[in-house]
Structure 1
Amino acid sequence: SISAAAKAYNVSKSTLFRRIHRRSLRQHFILTNKKLSKTEEEVLIKDILKLDLQGLSPSLSPVRDIADTIRHINTSIVITAIDRQGRPKHVKLTNTT
């Protein structure tokens, strides 16, 4: 029972009940605090590796600037036509800031 488990692990019953019946608060905050999408993270990693190859130290300030730039430039690709093999024929880039 919840009461027995709460007593055994020295946790309040309400906390244990909430954790059992809902998502944990930590999972919620991880999802809401995430600023970059998976694709944007991959772009950031590639840029950091480029800095490293150039002999530049990927310190926090330049990496933060790159991440802010990536986050603000939300480039999406709109495929207006596709041929039979599934390749895009006409691609229009949009930049939403």
Structure 2
Amino acid sequence: MRQITQDSVNAFFCGQNFSKANMTVKTNNENETRLFLHGNMIAKKTKDSLQISNCGWYTNTTKERLNGVLHVYGLGYIYQKNHNWYYVDNDGQEQEFNKEKTFNI
């Protein structure tokens, strides 16, 4: 995992504001924390849910950042095959990743 991913995902997990290079974490008074890559919100967490999105950007950097979030929460991973993205859960169940996914945490 890249250092910028580790730093931003740790701030996201802890609910702390963060800004470095192309990554930003913002928290608000509604107990919501948002993770941004190049100004696009790629993850949002509340007290009981986690939402991830590639915002239509199927890039290695976006996938690496999303996998950093999934890793911290122990929620599987995303991989790419033949230009398509797939999400694999902890039970090995695979499904196509179509831009966004929401988890109960």
TM norm. shorter chain > 0.5:
no
The structure with more radius of gyration: 1
**Greater fraction of residues in strand:** 2
Report the TM-score when normalising by structure 2.
0.24
